[in-house]
A and B are shown apart, each in its own frame.
Chain A
Amino acid sequence: MTTDALAPRATASARPLGRRLTAAGTRRRIRGGAITLLTWGVVVVFFFPVLWMVLTAFKPERQAATDPPTFLADWTLDSFGKVFARDMAPYLINSLTASVGSTIIVLLLAIPAAYALSIRPIVKVRDALFFFISTRFMPVAASIIPVYLILQTLGLLDNINALMILYVGVNLPIAIWMMRSFLSEVPVEIVEAAQIDGAKLRTELFRVVIPIVLPGIAAAGLICFIFAWNEYFLASILTSTAARTTPPFLASFVDGRGFFLAVLSAASTIAVLPVVIAGWVAQKQLVRGLAMGAIK
């Protein structure tokens, strides 16, 4: 009786349940498809200016600024020839020196600093963190005159090492904050286990903690490298000839009395290559690093 009574009810409710499951699956698929579509849309919006820059670099000057804009053109390498004729190499070397050098120094300072702010915390951690970030409160422009005069007095204007040190000062607070977030995610139990096994501070740092946060170091390093590579304000004011970096060199392609869009795009395309390559090489570490830290 019970079975008979239940059977038709179960059969009756099985269909709606199946339909409900199918409908839920469809909704999930639609939502997933919509999110994928939206993601691609955002990617296209962000990537399109870069794509357009690269395309423009291969166009002749007369087709670089047509109205309406066109994808098709008489493709040419003329603009790249003009850029290389201006000898871009010294500017790229200067940028590489300032960016790589400052990034290495920043990481060497930021990792122990972040360690002392997370795994083996000093007293008043919050005050120390606030102090580091407060150095970024004032716009760089507000301090440029004293910086300029100090460098002039020390004979360090147009000096790539001086620029490198300034980039260290600019990027260090960001790197410390990022590294502190990464280090905070290291399980305390692992560190304690190493300590119980007799690990000293150096062993603990180099053999236990750093391997765990290597993706985070890659992420912090790449961000510092990109910031230094793209920096324009300090480079344009504090350098003139020997230490001139790539961003002011790019601006020099802006021609006050002629066409320049194609050649400027060609120079910019060359200039972004090191950053793209660095990002590509560190891609795997970077994705893990960005996912584990504060900027996820």
Chain B
Amino acid sequence: MHVKRSILGVGVTLVAGALVLSGCAGAGAGNTSGGKTTLTLATVNNPQMKDMEELKGEFEKKYPDISVKFIQMEENDLRDAVTKDVATKGGQYDIVTVGAYEVPIWAKNGWLSDLTQATSSKSYDVNDLFPPVRAGLTSGGKLYAVPFYGESSFLMYNKDIFAKAGLTMPERPTWDQVATMARQLKTPTQDGICLRGKPGWGELFAPLTTVVKTFGGNWYDSKWNATVDDAKFSAASQFYVNLVRDAGEADPVSFGFTECLNNFSQGKSAMWVDATSAAGSVEDPKASPVAGKVGYARSPVKETKESGWLWSWNLAIPATSKKKDAAETFVKWATSKDYQKLVGQKLGWSRVPPGARTSTYSIPQYQKAASAFAPITKQIMESVDPKNPGVEPQPYTGIQFVSIPEFQDIGNQVSQDMAEVFAGRSQLAPVLAKGQKLAQAAGDKQK
């Protein structure tokens, strides 16, 4: 009897505990109660977004009838979560951060709210947004998202290593020059260059597609015929693979942005070609031992004048949001000139979101705080052309990606196969031949 009672007692206690926990579970989804509107914002967990969350109190002070709940996610989780929410009209999010790749596709699907009217006021100054970035967020003449921060790509190099080797980095290096220097600087304990090799359309194929384009290749010609197995795409890919094998990291398949950032910041790599937004982390003395010792040059070229990519993380409002007015108020606040000044005053001028507004680069405090990389970032951001980044014309807008829904899958599959090439288990030709078939199938749908 005693045993039975004690077991029942334990069971009842546990069930009661579970119910109590269930009752106080979660933080509560966004809703409207007591005249206060709660917005739910789904975002990537990048430093600039974390700053936005830190400063949301300032917004809530200014607009006491609106509060904002941030849901931070890893980049791929965010893509999955937001895609399924907007595609199934779930309506769980009022504001989402969307990459430059998704905006035109989602806009065509009718998943995003038109922000043209909301951003037309003089005080917002929509013309201050970087023109190439704005062009990528516009579909059918309507603006569907506004940039929170933008980035291109450039070459970072360790000035100490270069000085020791007696090398000088040109302001606009070519890939041939970079390859020669990288091979020269490679030692058993130091990589000549760090380049992404991790599979993924947004990992390996971000830098590799820029190399392909400056070598004169592309994923498609102007009539959506795939050109993945042509001579120029092959030459660029072979160049990239050879360079990584000869002068790059020992295990390229494991190296994406994060790994290269760690490698370069630890002084283990002489050069690194990647996002301009990396400079903020590289120059952070609390996190990076090479802070203050890094030089910056334009992204290396072959046949084009420029080969930097163009990416932005943007704020958009899903068409399913029931709180569009409040959401627009927040979106405008977070992408305004005043917000940029607020970040500078409250968190430090080097933390101002880069690459979204041209006026950012005229703020004297920002110029001073980001003097190492701000001028070159602005030059690149203004000169890249997402409509015609390569040698031949292309039928889509985008530099390091093809703005069709199938590209994610194609890029992921081909990059998985490329990993086998890096590992020496496969040849490049069959990989590109397979990629050609995949790309052609997707291209045929666009014709």
Q: Which residues of A contact B (CB under 8 A)?
A: 60-62, 65-67, 86-87, 90, 93-94, 96-97, 100-101, 104, 108, 148-149, 152, 157-158, 160-161, 164, 203, 206-207, 210-211, 236-237, 240-244, 248, 251-261
Q: Tell me which of B25, B72, B280 contacts A243 (CB under 8 A).
A: B25
> Whose C-beta in chain B lies nearest to the C-beta of A78?
B286
CB-contacts of B44-72 with A (<8 A): 44-48, 69, 71-72
> Known: A152-B88, A237-B80, A254-B74. Is A242-B44 also a contact (CB below 8 A)?
no
Most chain A C-beta atoms within 10 Å of own C-beta, residue among B48, B265, B268: B265
Q: What 0/1 readout, one digit per residue, does chain B (1-33) give for beta carbons within 8 Å of chain A?
A: 101100100010011011001101111111000
Closest A residue to B27 by CB, please name it.
Answer: A90
How many B residues face the partner with a CB closer than 8 A?
Answer: 57
Q: With A97-B22, A101-B21, A256-B46 as given contacts, are A206 and B3 in contact (CB-CB < 8 Å)?
A: yes
Out of A62, A108, A251, name the residue touching B286 (CB < 8 Å): A62
- Whether B307 is near chain A, meaning CB under 8 Å from some CB there, is no
Give chain B residues whose Cβ lies under 8 Å from the Cβ of A61.
286-287
- Whether, in the assembled complex, B303 has its beta carbon less than 8 Å from a beta carbon of chain A, the answer is no
User: Looking at the complex, which one of A90, A93, A158, A253 makes contact with B92 (CB distance below 8 Å)?
Assistant: A158
Check if A259 sits within 8 Å of B281, measured CB to CB.
Answer: yes
B231 at the interface (CB under 8 A from A): no
A97 in contact with B25 (CB, 8 Å): yes
1/0 per residue, CB under 8 A from A, across B224-245: the answer is: 0000000000000000000000
In the bound complex, residues from chain B placing their C-beta under 8 Å from that of A261 are 262
Q: A66-B266, A237-B80 are in contact. Are A242 and B29 (CB under 8 A)?
A: yes
CB contact under 8 A between A65 and B74, given known A100-B14, A236-B81: no
Chain A residues within an 8 Å CB radius of B258: 254-256, 260
Report A237 CB to chain B, min CB distance, Å.
Answer: 7
Please give, as numbers and ranges, the residues of chain A lying within 8 Å of B247 by CB-CB distance. none
Cβ contact within 8 Å between A252 and B21: no
Given contacts A93-B21, A237-B80, contact A256 B257 (CB under 8 A): yes
A-B contact pairs, 28 of them (CB 8 A): A62-B288, A65-B262, A67-B266, A67-B268, A86-B72, A93-B21, A94-B25, A100-B14, A100-B17, A100-B21, A104-B15, A152-B88, A158-B92, A164-B22, A210-B3, A236-B80, A236-B81, A237-B81, A237-B84, A240-B71, A241-B27, A241-B30, A242-B26, A244-B26, A253-B45, A254-B75, A257-B278, A259-B265
B85 part of interface (Cβ distance < 8 Å): yes
Known contacts: A67-B268, A90-B26, A251-B74. The answer to whether A101 contacts B18 by CB under 8 A is yes
A258 and B281 form a contact (CB under 8 A): yes
Bound CA span A158–B92, Å: 9
Contacts of A148 in B (CB 8 A): 84, 88
B281 touching A257 by the CB < 8 A rule?
A: yes
Among B69, B84, B275, the one with the most A-chain Cβ atoms within 10 Å of its Cβ is: B84
**Residues of B near any A CB (own CB < 8 A):** 1, 3-4, 7, 11, 14-15, 17-18, 21-22, 24-30, 40, 42, 44-48, 69, 71-75, 77, 80-81, 84-85, 88, 90, 92-93, 257-258, 261-263, 265-266, 268, 275, 277-278, 280-281, 286-289
5 extra interface residue pairs, beta carbon distance < 8 Å, beyond A254-B75, A255-B46: A60-B286, A90-B26, A101-B22, A207-B1, A258-B287
State whether A242 and B27 are in contact (beta carbons under 8 Å apart), knowing that A157-B92, A251-B73 are contacts in the complex: yes
Instruction: For A205, give the chain B residue with the smallest CB separation.
Output: B4
Quick one: closest B residue to A210, CB to CB? B7
CB-based closest 9 A-B pairs:
A242-B26, A90-B27, A101-B18, A97-B21, A206-B4, A65-B262, A252-B72, A242-B29, A254-B74
Residue with the highest number of chain B CB atoms closer than 10 Å, among A104, A164, A252:
A252
Tell me which residues across on chain A come within 8 A of B287, comparing CB atoms: 60-62, 258-259
Contact A104 B47 (CB under 8 A): no
Q: Which residues of chain A come closer than 8 Å to B261, judged between CB atoms?
A: 258-259
CA distance A1 to B29 in the complex (A): 102
Interfacial chain B residues near A206, Cβ < 8 Å: 3-4, 7
Cα A12 to Cα B254 in complex, Å, equals 69
Q: Does the CB pair A94–B26 fall under 8 Å?
A: yes
Residues of A within 8 A of B46 (CB): 255-258
Q: Are the CB atoms of A160 and B25 closer together than 8 Å?
A: yes
